[in-house]
Structure 1
Amino acid sequence: MDRLLHHELRAAVSAFAAIAVALTAMGLVRGLSAPDQPGRLGLYVVGLLAFLVVWTLLKATRIKWFSEVRSFEKAVPVEDLDVALPTERLLRDQPYSLRLFVLYLALALPLSFWEPWSLGVLLWSALDWLGQAALIAHWERRNGLLLWRGHVESRPWELSVSRRPPTRTATDARPA
């Protein structure tokens, strides 16, 4: 089992790394040139970020077709499952997904040489994963639960929840 938050962060890091490698390769082959209209790039970035913020806020609502929160609330408690207590693959042990990195690199390299602006689609998905991670972190903190994915290997999208372990202090004393 894998924490959903860590899964989303691994995906975002992998996608950002692949985009960075593709942009570096494009810069080395094509050379770096200034945009034709410098203000247009800023407008594009602001528009992309505004759309992603609205999209993430829609997922934080309970609207039927957009809501991620509803699926978080439908997650099955780990205690009700016939699985062992989740063992967490820590983010520091595996900060990125090699498969996703290779897949994104295979998409990003040809796109960067064909039309550099098309990397915006890949950048959008990476930023969406980052927004999803922020949404998950907020939900987990507010509810005192941890979201897990992959309790059934054939259906990794099904979620389960467990209680957040109590916070440990430096002296191993119980928190006040």
Structure 2
Amino acid sequence: MIRFVYKQLAYAVVLILSGVIALGVAVAVKGGFRMYAWELLATFFACQVLMGFVSTSRLKKLGDIPTFEAAVPIADPATALSAPVRARARRSLGGSYGAMFALSIVVVTVLALFEPIAALLNCTLAVDPLMRAERAARWERRQGVLLWQGHVEQDQRPADTGQAPVFTSPRRAGRAGAVGAPSGSP
């Protein structure tokens, strides 16, 4: 199980790092950009912002909010979330995002050697997951829960919203800014 917010942030980091590395290689080998590339970059960035707004909306099958609302509480959060945070993150993100990072660096670098703007276009792909992470964090704070994605063995499953199932767990009390955290002195 991995928090929805962390999964989106990891995806954005993979996209940005692969784009920056490819850009460095392409500029070192090929040189700068042509003037038309900036207009293409601005258009692509605007499209990514639009996609980010769609993915953080209430649209069924497209937006995240119906998925969050369909999330069910984890039956036994102590057992399901008992593995150390780093071990869960390594298991959830290490294999899939590590392979995606390696493949992305190779593909984007090859494309950037032909046209360096490809590396910056890859970086703009991070806009959507960053917007989704922000929306999920805000939703978690308002609802007083944490959103999790992954496999949980329990009877109750979230309703099918067209996306990966999302589960919730209550926020832990005692953390700064957490719901139910004590305020003031003892």
Q: Normalising by the residue count of structure 1, what TM-score does the alignment of the two structures yield?
A: 0.76
Structure 1, residues 30-79: CA drift from partner, whole Å, max 9, x if none? 1x32x4437x61x4444333333332222232222421110111112112
Change (3 A) 1:16 1:55: same
Look up the SS of the partner of 1:168 in the other structure.
coil
- Would you say the 8 A contact 1:5–1:137 is kept in 2? yes
Q: How far apart are residue 26 of structure 1 and its match? A: 0.8
- Pair 103,27 (structure 1): closer, same or farther in 2 beyond 3 Å: same
Q: Is the 8 A contact 2:77 2:169 kept in 1?
A: no
Aligned to 1:74: 70
Q: Determine the structure 1 residue equivalent to 2:140.
A: 140
State TM-score, norm by structure 2. Answer: 0.72
Q: Which runs of 5+ in 1 are unaligned?
A: none
Query: In the alignment, which of 123, 144, 164 is matched to residue 157 of structure 1?
Result: 164
Q: CA deviation at 1:121?
A: 4.7
Q: Provide the secondary structure at the position in 1 that maps to 2:134.
A: helix
The aligned runs of 1:81-120 (5 Å cut-off) are 84-86=79-81, 87=83, 89=85, 97-120=97-120
The structural deviation recorded for 1:158 is 2.1
Q: 5+ residue gaps in structure 2?
A: 154-162
Question: What does residue range 123-138 of structure 1 map to in structure 2 within 5 Å?
Answer: 123-138=123-138
RMSD over aligned CA atoms reads 3.1
How many residue pairs get matched?
Answer: 164
Change (3 A) 1:133 1:88: farther
